[in-house]
Structure 1
Amino acid sequence: MTGDMAIGEKALLLDSKKRRYLIDLAEGGEFHSHAGFVSHNDIIGQREGVVVKSTKGSEYIALRPTLEDFVVEMPRGAQVIYPKDLATICMLADIGPGVRVFETGIGSGALSMTMLRYGAEIVGYEVREDFANRARKNVQSFLGADAFDRYQVEIADSYAGINPEHGPFDRVVLDLPEPWQVVPHAEGVLRAGGILLAYTPSITQAVRVRESLKGKWIDARTIEVLHRGWHIEGQAVRPDHRMVAHTGFLSVGRFLGRN
């Protein structure tokens, strides 16, 4: 999106300590914090990068949020998959324009909106209606209503099966406690050469997934993504004291077909 920031858009406010605040711009709206408040009208109609002051003199830089910003700051009902894993999932599962994806365990929609941003067409199953509604709202909030042309969420239990009328699919992406239970159902809707990927918090879950990817599956592997930032200040260079280490395991395999 280009041009000046407008009513109805999201804005990201960065303060001097690099703290980030996500707001929805509204005529006459106000952002309140310990440093006073900032009028939305000071941002609306301005270019990205404008510096605005609060009533107590604190300065904020206003920008449009990136997908990473939104995923980290968005409203959530369930624990989200973090950006370091989202990007890797889309690479391992080869997500791209026109790819049909079956996703189960929608949660707050972080993975959905990432795959939609890559151009995928998604049918998602979620057992909790409140999570499904939150995911839809988050997708619409960041990507707009047009995203629903490629995003269908069903209140359904993938452990019980996958409706064949929703298939066939090029990819199956699983984010739920026992993804190995869905593998036999995935075999009924996934095309030959298709990819299945499961996100699991624990290695014991990953082992169960790998055990289920036998016979009709090939090229199975499991990885973990560790994300470490670096502190660079002039010639003073060192790794950050904190890093985003373990969040989950990504297990992936390719389907050889039902014959």
Structure 2
Amino acid sequence: MSFVEYSDFIQDGDVAIVYLSHNSVMPVKVQQGAQTQTRYGVIRHSTDLIGQRYGSKVTCSKGGWVYVLHPTPELWTVALPHRTQILYTTDIATITMMLELKPGSVVCESGTGSGSLSHAILRTIAPTGHLHTVEFHQQRAEKVAEEFKEHRVDHLVTVRNQDVCQDGFGVTGVADAVFLDIPSPWEAVGHAKAALKKRGGRLCSFSPCIEQVQRTCDALSDHGFEEIDTLEVLLRVHEVRTVSLPLPDFGSDSEEAPPAVGATEHPSVTMKTTTPPRRMPGHTGYLTFATKPRS
């Protein structure tokens, strides 16, 4: 099992994702002889998990059942233990696209936090790319490094415990892209520029407040960055429902027979339609993108 390579069967030492319901999943470290308690009963790793195919339907001790899924960055985002606020798939997809990440890319990231974005980056840049991620908090840095090892992606990532605003990323002139998710990103713009390759490269800064965006854009402009754009990604889920609409009666030139007994005088048609949400608490933050000049 690896977050960047697919395996067919569950093995001892894997991290599997137990799917309980539409909005309830949990990560499980598979170990010989271990058990995991769920609301549907106990899952016995030795008999219920090890050797089974990923995607299998597993019956728990109380008779309920769950699915056991291969881990992906998207599943990890909804299952991971939160040590900080995290980025979700809606923003992550936009970041990955706008930073033009691909297999072989070198990326610098700060701060690492709970590792939600980190796993998506690693899946995108594998098998030959590398992620240099910086986390200010020592315990969080140690925990995320441990998770990278458990998820068998540690060969693709270097974790540094330092202040990016003071000490930078620890690399110079190698990055294809830089991502900043820190309280004062404008203080790290100079270090980000130094970490980017000599010609070109993309930068993204995530900030929840527009005042942070304004100061970051000023710093980007002062350091010579171009194509500075800020956008907000909002997830708008439409409700699907079935409605019955009356068919219009345009009349007729010819005389028609009266309707049969029991027949409806106003025929209608049934169809599915969607309605937008009346309330949409969708704001997560602003994404500011910029390009380092190629000259």
Same fold at TM > 0.5: yes
Alignment equivalent of 2:31, drawn from 26, 29, 41: 26
- Please identify the structure whose Cα radius of gyration is greater: 2
Which residue number in structure 1 is paired with residue 231 of structure 2?
223
Using the size of structure 2 for normalisation, the TM-score is: 0.77
Single out whichever of 219-228 and 54-63 deviates more from structure 2. Answer: 54-63
| Paired amino acid for 1:28 | G
| Paired amino acid for 1:248 | G
1:128 aligns with 2:137: yes
1:256 aligns with 2:261: no
Unaligned runs of 5+ in 2: 1-5, 243-270
1:186 aligns with 2:192: yes
Structure 2: distance between partners of 1:189 and 1:50: 44
Displacement of 1:231 in angstroms is 5.1
Structure 2: distance between partners of 1:173 and 1:84: 16
Partner of 2:194, secondary structure, is coil
RMSD of aligned alpha carbons: 2.5
1:36 aligns with 2:53: no
Is residue 174–residue 197 contact of structure 1 (8 Å, CA) maintained in 2?
Answer: yes
Partner of 1:176, secondary structure, is coil
Single out whichever of 52-61 and 232-241 deviates more from structure 2. Answer: 232-241
Structure 2: distance between partners of 1:28 and 1:230: 45
Which residue number in structure 1 is paired with residue 283 of structure 2?
246
Displacement of 1:118 in angstroms is 1.0
**Would you identify which runs of 4 or more consecutive aligned residues in structure 1 move more than 6 Å?**
none
Alignment equivalent of 1:213, drawn from 185, 203, 220: 220
Alignment equivalent of 2:164, drawn from 155, 158, 162: 158
Structure 1: distance between partners of 2:114 and 2:20: 27
Identical counterparts, % of pairs: 29
Displacement of 1:233 in angstroms is 7.5
Unaligned runs of 5+ in 1: none
Structure 1: distance between partners of 2:280 and 2:11: 36
Single out whichever of 120-129 and 164-173 deviates more from structure 2. Answer: 164-173
| Paired amino acid for 1:219 | E
Using the size of structure 1 for normalisation, the TM-score is: 0.87
Listed one character per residue, the Cα deviations across residues 206-231 of structure 1 (whole Å, up to 9, x for unaligned) are 12211222151111101111123455
* Aligned residue pairs, count: 255
